[in-house]
Each structure stands twice: as C-alpha cells, then as structure tokens.
Amino acid sequence: MTRKIKKTSYGRYALLIITAVLVIDQWIKIWVKTNMYMYERIHIADWFYILFTENPGMAFGWEFMDKIFLTLFRIVAVALISVYMYRVIRKRQAPFGYIACLSLILAGAAGNIIDCVFYGQIFNNPPAPLVAEMVPYGSGYAPLFYGKVVDMFYFPIIRTTWPDWMPVCGGESFVFFSPIFNFADAAISCGIIALLLFYHKRINL
C-alpha cells in the first residue's frame, strides 16, 4: 500500500527535490566541463550522445535575450517561484504533485543561474583539446553574471533529408531532436509539462 505524504511534510520533500536536482545537475556539469573539451562527444547510442557545448542563452541553447538581462530575469523568476511555493505549502491546499512540479522548475532554473553567475569566475576556458580547470575565484574566463551554461545531452533521434520538392528546405539535412540541453533544462521541461497535463486548472491561482 502506498504511503500517503503528509501535508506537513510537503516543505521537506520539496526541499529534497530541489537539493537533489541541483546536486545532480552541478555534478554532471562540472564533470563534463573538467573532463571534456569543447564539442567533444561521447557516443552512447546512435540516438544519444554526450556532447559538450556551452551557451549564454536560454534553455536548449536558444539565444534571444541580452546576457545580463537573462540572468537577472532568471533570478527574479526563481525568487517569485520560491515565494509562491512558500505560500502554497503554508496553506496546505495543493496536492504534492503540484508542489513537486514547482520544485523541479525552481531547481532547474536555479541550476542554470549557478552557471551564469559563477562559472565564469571559477573556471578557465582553454582551447581544445585542453579541458577546463577550476581556478581561484575571480580569475576565470568571464565577469560575474556572464558565465555560460554547460549543456551536454544530445538526442539526434531521427536523421534524414527533406524531399527536394519542398520549398526553402528541400534537399537539406534534418535532425530530430537537435537541441542540446542539460539536467536542469530537463527538470524545468518535466515540471512544466506535468503542470500543463495534470494541474492546468491551478496555474491561474
């Protein structure tokens, strides 16, 4: 019989989820950054690679905002989610699944904030085939708030070519799924998808 989680324990379980996501995310990123050179790839399967990249932009390598604005936006978003979670947990009216989704989103956003804020301060950025090393704080490759987010998961599930008769993209190669992402991105995506599927009625609260 499944043991029901007491509402009084929601806060502790939420903290456990956040801590676990942050620890796993940072462990993977630090391992990749200090053991792989830029664009090095490890073949796991034909549809899955560990491919080391860095990006200054949004999740999955997308870039469409100024770097400092993006970092500050993330920090504000995490602060707002934290306050909202505190209020929801304190009222004890939301199901644990809803709290878990918010915890995943919060932890994922915080994980990428750590990269943006601190990685430029604590890592160097040597050219390939050298790998990065941790350096004394403040002597890294970028100023505070200008670090790059480490990405590594690449799933080229389908590799094909668009038919020649198609306009614009005809004859060009096509890869699905092409974005490269990290564990924090996955946590954010899973949290958002679960919210939309199971708790969409609560999003407007």
**Which of these is catalytic: 46, 66, 151, 164?**
151
> Is 185 marked active-site?
yes
Selected catalytic residue, list 46, 115, 164, 185: 185
Q: What pLDDT is recorded for position 63?
A: 57
pLDDT, residue 93, reads 78
Structural domain boundaries in the chain: 11-202
Tell me the pLDDT of the chain (205 aa) as tens digits: 345 667 668 999 999 999 999 999 999 999 999 999 999 999 999 999 999 999 876 555 555 556 788 888 889 999 999 999 999 999 887 899 999 999 999 999 999 999 999 999 999 999 999 999 999 999 999 999 999 999 999 999 877 787 777 777 777 777 777 889 999 999 999 999 999 999 887 765 4
| Residue-level pLDDT at 184 | 96
Taking the C-alpha atoms of residue 57 and residue 61, their distance in angstroms, rounded to an integer, is 6
Give residue 73's pLDDT: 86
Residue 25: active-site member:
no
Cis peptide bond upstream of 73, omega within 30: no
